[in-house]
Amino acid sequence: MPRSKEIQKQMRKKVIEVYPSGKGYKAISKALGLPRTTVRAIIYKWRKHGTVENLPRSGRPTKITPGAQRQLIQEVTKDPTTTSKELQASLASVKVSVHDSTIRKRLGKNGLRGRVPRRKPLLSKKNIKARLSFARKHLDDPQDFWENTLWTDETKIELFGRSVSHYVWRKSNTAFQKKNIIPTVKYGGGSVMVWGCSAASGPGRLAVINGTMNSAVYQKILKENVRPSVCDLKLKRTWVLQQDNDPKHTSKSTSEWLKKNKMNTLEWPSQSPDLNPIEMLWHDLKKVVHARKPSNVAELQQLCKDEWAKIPPQRCNRLIASYGKRLIAVVAAKGIFTLVMKSRVPAERDDAPCSPHGSSLPVPLICRCTNPRFNRGGPGPPGQSNVPTGTREGRDDTARPEEGVTSTERATAEQQPPGIKQAEGRTQASRQAEQRPQWGRVVVDDVISRAGRHFLYSEMRRVT
């Protein structure tokens, strides 16, 4: 409902003049032609403050009513690409006339701000199903498996075409001065197509692709770079080659060549660059190469090789150490795109709780899990087995007494019905989880939303 005009001061005084005569709100409303609620508000204000004048207030009353605000929030929630001009026209249809900047401010106060949308590959239902299946299949793989995987990919690095946002400080009417413009070159001024590989122990070889890449060229690159990279990175004999589903990678001739050379490949879901840790290395490479401002393609090629070799092994190791969290995030997101997490693994401490893979990772959320599928067998305290035996789930509740429980409390619990004892056991276990680190559990980082955590809990309960 649109906001009505303010009642004039003379009309408010008439209401106060008629009120002492003993007439009620309804009679005054009918005599002066005002709504009864308006008459009641005027009299209430006069009785409380002794005046009908406008009292001091913070500023001009807002023109956007609560109903109009709800309408704005509903429209942008349904379609985030709606512009402020379209919202302005929508409010005009309900007789609320405001500037588009007012609409943006009001949405900002409700936590809705204009952002640049992320560009991601299009995911079909088949792609989403494959991503979710891949994450669930490899969720319980040991960390040693990912450390012995050789990650490969191709990328194009342009000479002048790195598309990032730039800002300049300038005065009005100086937009076309030489110092305030960024020169552009058609097709990026030239580019270099490179193939690279990496593992947890560091970056592998980098090959420059000349001309059009086909299955024969790809096989030649693999022949010249994969085996030497495996030797340089000191991977075990059970190493696995990761590659995406590009037609050159999955062609019949390439598949036969891989089988002939006894190279085991990792089954990979299509449209999943966020699952490949080498994408973060491409980002680092492009950033440092363009910072050095190469002047021609030959110099660009040489800078790519030099900077690729300078990538520290610790950077690669951190990316692989957080790969389990990537899979958990995909499961929590039900197969859609997730944040490409920048691994931040702190230095190991003696008092830091260990993750199931043995590295000192931050543990903001620890889920109780007794199923062997989610128990990855990380190092526990000295003398304690990582996967106790003795019950159906693989947990022996009688192996040792619960810490912090006296003998009297334990005897009382044994005399109680099973349902009460089980509930109290869960309560006691939750208290212990807050007091000390638990071994053989799933570590979930704070990148997963609350809805994702509930989904992960339901998945663990389903398989238990």
Task: Write the pLDDT tens digit of every residue in 376-429.
Answer: 444 443 444 443 343 333 334 333 444 444 444 444 444 444 443 444 444 454
Put residue 192 in one of left, alpha, beta given phi > 0 → left and psi -120 to 50 → alpha: beta
Assigned token pair, 377? 């067998």
Residue 346 has pLDDT above 90, yes or no: no
CA–CA dist 236, 449 (Å, integer): 37
Please say whether the beta carbons of 160 and 184 come within 8 A.
Answer: yes
Q: What is the pTM of this model?
A: 0.60
Residue 273 has pLDDT above 80, yes or no: yes
Mean pLDDT over 247-268 rounds to 94
What is the pLDDT at residue 169?
A: 87
Element (H, E) at 208: strand 202-209
Strands (E), 389-453: 442-444
Please say whether the beta carbons of 444 and 456 come within 8 A.
Answer: yes
- Choice between 54 and 303, residue whose per-residue pLDDT is larger: 303
Mean pLDDT over 271-280 rounds to 93
CA–CA dist 323, 139 (Å, integer): 10
Please say whether the beta carbons of 288 and 308 come within 8 A.
Answer: no
Please say whether the beta carbons of 362 and 445 come within 8 A.
Answer: yes
Strand partners, 202: 199
Residue 359 has pLDDT above 70, yes or no: no
Indicate the CATH number of 125-162+188-321 among 3.40.50.300, 1.10.10.10, 3.30.420.10, 3.40.50.1100: 3.30.420.10
Nearest to 444 by CA among 436, 454, 435: 454
Please say whether the beta carbons of 365 and 446 come within 8 A.
Answer: yes
What is the pLDDT at residue 59?
A: 77
Nearest to 55 by CA among 1, 90, 119, 12: 12
Q: Give, in degrees to the nearest 5, the angle at Cα 187 between 181 and 190.
A: 100
Average pLDDT, the chain: 77
Please name the residue that has the structure tokens 């006339």. 97
Task: For residue 338, name the pLDDT band (cuts at 50, 70, 90).
Answer: confident
Q: How far is CA 359 from the centre of its chain?
A: 22
Q: How far is CA 44 from the centre of its chain?
A: 52
CA–CA dist 30, 22 (Å, integer): 14
Q: Is 221 helix (H, G, I), strand (E, B) or coil?
A: helix
CA–CA dist 74, 61 (Å, integer): 23
CA–CA dist 326, 431 (Å, integer): 29
The amino acid at 337: F
